[in-house]
Amino acid sequence: MLRIDEYRSIIEDQLQMIGGMKRPEGLYEPVKYILSLGGKRLRPVLCLASAGLFGDYSPALMPALGLEVFHNFTLLHDDIMDRSDVRRNHETVHKRWDDNTAILSGDLMLIKSYELISKSPVGVLPQVLEVFNKTAIEVCEGQQFDMEFEKTTDVTEEGYLDMIRLKTAVLIGASMKIGGILGGGSLRDCSLLYKFGQDIGMAFQLQDDWLDVFGNQETFGKQIGSDILNNKKTFLLISTLNRLEKEPRKQLLDWLERKDYNADEKIAAVTQLYNEAGVSEIVTRKRDDFFFRSLENFEKINGDQEIKKEIENFAHKLMARAR
């Protein structure tokens, strides 16, 4: 049985080979660059661990890499749409090169992700592709909702939670379900893995939202306050709009409407309004609701007990992270 850290090491080694230099360099170098920036490798690690719950993890290796390449493809395009300059404490691809390069290199990564996922064993390939195709569409739907939310203040907490489910959580759920399928898990266990992964993804994104405001930029790996500057309709912003009295709510709406402002001043002012509304506690409570529900589903899953414990410990570390 391999441990989580060993799965991550395997993924890192394989990704280096995927990011190897080819021509034209202007197409492949950004792929190598984004894959070299590290990250938690959450999706491929959980895919391999889910396969290992029921048997040999090795049939899941190429699909797990495909899931990570797909995830990083979405980051390239998301950073263009959000005009983000920093990713994992480094320049984003569109900032280091340009928008056109980031778009085309991202397209290449999408194609590569399908190539890798298609290396699943023939007997389960249709099931794997069905899960992945549905998830890829949902991720695009989530991104569209996210962009639409930027143009309105009429976003409910429920609408936001559905958006992050599509944009973030379903890919984590799918990674675990695909791993379970490739490891030979039952339909019931694969379904429970999906529910566990999706709820972990919800908790993970709510933690990410919290860190974007209340975290430390050096450890978080990207600009603190970027969601505020981009008027992102996060759970914190929506909850604050719902809870502030008339005058402070007017101040918050004024910051959302301003086109000309000092970035540091806006971040400080909006953060203060978040504190007035007490939303830090609200979002962490909602995060914990998803997290504990995920553990309830995970407890029902059969499989290797040592790997189950590894996955559970991994989930706990995610919720305690500072980045």
**pLDDT for the residue numbered 232:** 84
The count of structural domains within the chain is 1
Burial class (CB in 10 A: 0-12, 13-18, 19+), 254: exposed
Burial class (CB in 10 A: 0-12, 13-18, 19+), 270: buried
CA distance to 86, 102, 148, 153, 171, per residue, from 81 (Å): 13, 11, 12, 19, 20
**What tokens appear for 197 in the block?**
């992964």
Instruction: Please enumerate in sequence order all residues whose Cβ is within 8 A of that of 301, keeping only pairs 6 or more positions apart, or say none.
Output: 53, 189, 192, 193, 196, 308
**pLDDT for the residue numbered 219:** 58
pLDDT of residue 170 exceeding 60, the answer is yes
- pTM over the 0.75 mark: yes
pLDDT of residue 322 exceeding 50, the answer is no
State the pLDDT confidence band at 137, using cuts at 50, 70 and 90.
Answer: very high
Residue 241: how many CA atoms within 13 Å on its side-chain side? 19
pLDDT of residue 321 exceeding 70, the answer is no
**pLDDT for the residue numbered 87:** 87
**pLDDT for the residue numbered 3:** 87
Q: To which residue do tokens 């230099």 refer?
A: 21
Q: pLDDT of 260-312, one tens digit each?
A: 999 999 999 999 999 999 999 999 999 999 999 999 999 999 999 999 999 99
What does the pLDDT average to over 1-29? Answer: 87
pLDDT, mean over the chain? 93
Q: Do the Cβ atoms of 193 and 179 come closer than 8 Å?
A: yes
Tell me the torsion sign for CA atoms 216, 218, 219, 220. Answer: positive
Residue 315: give the domain boundaries. 4-319
pLDDT of residue 323 exceeding 50, the answer is no
- Separation of first and last alpha carbons in the chain: 28
**What tokens appear for 195 in the block?**
């529910």
pLDDT of residue 319 exceeding 90, the answer is no
Alpha carbons 176 and 198: distance in angstroms, whole number: 9
CATH at residue 282: 1.10.600.10
State the pLDDT confidence band at 129, using cuts at 50, 70 and 90.
Answer: very high
Alpha carbons 272 and 292: distance in angstroms, whole number: 30
The separation between CA 46 and the C-alpha centre of its own chain, rounded to angstroms, equals 13
> Using CA atoms in the order 150, 77, 212, 241, what is the torsion angle rounded to 10 degrees?
10
Residue 162: count of CB within 10 angstroms of its CB: 15
